[in-house]
Amino acid sequence: MSHQQVESLDVDRIRAAYPILEREFSGSQLVYLDNAATTHTPDPVVDAMSDYYRQYNSNVHRGIHHLSQEASIAYEEAHDRVADFIGADGREEVIFTKNTTESENLLAYAWGLAELGPGDEVVLTEMEHHASLVTWQQIAHRTGADVKYIAIDDDGRLDMDHAHECITDDTAIVSVVHVSNTLGTVNPVAELADIAHDHDAYIFVDGAQAVPTRPVDVQAIDADFYAFSGHKMAGPTGIGVLYGKRHLLEAMQPYLYGGGMIEKVTFEDSTWAELPWKFEPGTPPIAEAVGLEAAVDYLEEIGMERVQAHEERLAEYAYEQLAAEDDVDIYGPEPGPDRGGLVSFNLESVHAHDLASIMNDHAVAIRAGDHCTQPLHDKLGVAASARASFYVYNTREEVDKLVDAIDSARQLFA
Amino acid sequence: MGLGSDMYRQQILDHYKSPRNYGELEDPTFTHIGENPMCGDEIRMDVRLDGQEIEQVAFSGDGCAISQAAASMLTTELPGTTVDELLEMDRDDIVDMLGVEISPMRIKCAVLAEKVAQDGAKMYRGDLDKEKTTTEDD
Ligand SMILES: Cc1ncc(COP(=O)(O)O)c(C=O)c1O
């Protein structure tokens, strides 16, 4: 479905649920365009968490009392809700973690350390976030496995011929970002999953920028593992998800040990609780799980197709405005079905950090830096870039303010 | 809306656009390099001494306006001072020199050149062994 056909959002109504967007700095209203870093949290999500603390705060899976029962049920049901949202086959396949990074580490430690060895290959892409790049790199160092990177082409898309070359019968796992947080590229993850599976390799997909912004169905992708964070999808910080196919998670040993993840313990040995609790030791992020569930409800009420269309429209508009300027370099593919809702760029005469500081004086919040993709920036030949990223509450007028702020930076440095 | 950042007053922009003492000295007493990984700023400082007094300073590098302007200003400030005085400088001195408020997120950019010069001086005195200064160290 092209986004032209999708009904647009009632942004005024949406914005009313985000008091933070009313903030002013030196008389200018906040223009928040740093959503790829973290999104804001709407009232229904804050309310759900506050309701938990006010009404049924308790530890889970321990108490016989009313509050513990209520908290336990809410915590467990949050897994069901998330499973349903991403097309997983039940709560057993949904592990709550701290964030995408921890999900990635859970997989790398629990599966990677046990399974990888010399001669095995881990295939990444040049656009991986440090969350997966650094993690696999270090696990490879420890296990003697090799790391390979699928190259990107000049437009910031994966070179699929190179993908076919990189993924071989020695490949143990392919780790690929679904939507690049720097280039905005939407990668063909289902195709990559097919290639991986043809070689009996697994595929892990970093969905930190995908789940917040588009419908995602892990079974349609045929991902073996998939990760994302609550705080980038209108949910709270402190909670993330690792999805894994049930039989794979069952075969994996725990990564962290302690209470809550065991079945039976003696002085000599222990056995593990069933999925997903086997991977959730200690007191979990209960309020955050309640908040994540509320965020899923919130996003589904808007409709993920509409969220995606809204973002794509704004990104396309921003791209066009910026592309019209001779002194702006934009990274990543042109607007289209394989570009998500963010635009990274550089203004030739102004360092990205200076640009972000000047924008900040206009109350325009953007990100500047390497966006946790240093090797990719090396490849692009720049130390840093500026990035504007959009969410459900952003407007075309805000894109105009971005462009105006760029213009004042240009004048200041002229 | 303001006319742009307080951080980007004329003096800073001037030093950024027309850096003073940019380049390398022919006969430096010591030379040191450093970087600010967060911004990708890179600075090389060349210092020539006459006894304990700093005679001439040059810098080269690449990076944001704050880091490059601070380096440029430092090359004009340091001559005539002593190595001890250089080593006693702290971030307040740099902020005073720049003459503007530096936001907390950008302070590392501002102090890079100073730290590079200081580490160079310490290495010259044999008090430090470090290939490259980075602002992530503190
Ligand atoms: C593509 C991608 N992967 C991973 C992460 C890490 O997410 P978190 O910081 O929530 O662990 C991010 C966000 O910064 C991201 O954009």
Q: What is the pLDDT, as a whole number, of residue B135?
A: 80
Residue B135, in any domain of the structure: no
CA A328 to chain centre: 27
Contact criterion met (CB < 8 Å) for A408 and B4: yes
Contact criterion met (CB < 8 Å) for B39 and A413: no
**Percent of chain A scoring above 70 in pLDDT:** 99
Domains: count for chain B:
1
| Residue B2 pLDDT > 70 | no
Q: Which two tokens stand for residue A155?
A: 């437009």
Q: Which two tokens stand for residue A49?
A: 């968490």
Distance CA A108, CA A145 (A): 12
B-chain residue closest to A383, CA distance: B40
The whole-model pTM stands at 0.94
| Residue A214 pLDDT > 90 | yes
CB nearest B39 (choices: A384, A408, A409): A384
Query: What is the extent of the structural domain holding B89?
Result: 3-130
CB nearest B5 (choices: A28, A352, A357): A357
CB nearest B1 (choices: A352, A362, A383): A362
Work out the minimum CA distance from B37 to partner chain A, whole angstroms.
9
Q: What is the pLDDT, as a whole number, of residue B4?
A: 46
Q: What is the pLDDT, as a whole number, of residue A11?
A: 96
Mean predicted confidence (pLDDT) in B81-90? 97
Query: In CATH, what number is assigned to the domain containing residue B104?
Result: 3.90.1010.10
Residue B16, in any domain of the structure: yes
Return the active site residues of A.
372
Residue B138, in any domain of the structure: no
Distance CA A309, CA A41 (A): 20
Q: Which residues contact residue A73 at a Cβ distance below 8 angstroms, ignoring those fewer than 6 apart?
A: none
Protein residue with its CA nearest to atom 15 in ligand 1? A208
Give A231 Cα–ligand 1 centroid separation in angstroms. 10
* Domain A3-32+303-412 part of CATH 3.90.1150.10: yes
Mutate to test the interface with A, among B39, B68, B105, B135 (most CBs of A within 10 A): B39
Residue whose C-alpha is closest to residue A146's, from A114, A121, A166, A123: A121
Using CA of residue A271, residue A274, residue A280, residue A283, what is the dihedral sign? negative
pLDDT band at B10 (very low <50, low <70, confident <90, very high): confident
Distance CA B86, CA B48 (A): 13
Using CA of residue A154, residue A159, residue A165, residue A166, what is the dihedral sign? positive
pLDDT band at B9 (very low <50, low <70, confident <90, very high): confident
Burial class (CB in 10 A: 0-12, 13-18, 19+), A270: middle
ipTM: 0.86
Residue B110, in any domain of the structure: yes
Q: What is the pLDDT, as a whole number, of residue A6?
A: 82
Q: Where are the domains of chain A?
A: 3-32+303-412, 46-300
Residue type, A414: A
Residue B136, in any domain of the structure: no
Contact criterion met (CB < 8 Å) for B65 and A369: no
Q: How open is the CA angle A266-A270-A275, to the nearest 5 degrees?
A: 140
Contact criterion met (CB < 8 Å) for B1 and A27: yes
Residue B53, in any domain of the structure: yes
Q: What is the pLDDT, as a whole number, of residue A2?
A: 56
Give A128 Cα–ligand 1 centroid separation in angstroms. 10
Ligand 1, residues A38, A96, A129, A180: which to mutate, most atoms within 8 A of Cβ? A129
Distance CA B105, CA B109 (A): 9
Residue B66, in any domain of the structure: yes
Distance CA B27, CA A187 (A): 53
Distance CA A23, CA A21 (A): 5
Distance CA A375, CA A377 (A): 5
Give B100-127 pLDDT, tens digit per residue: 888 888 899 999 999 999 999 999 999 9
Provide CATH code, domain A46-300.
Answer: 3.40.640.10
Distance CA A344, CA A319 (A): 9
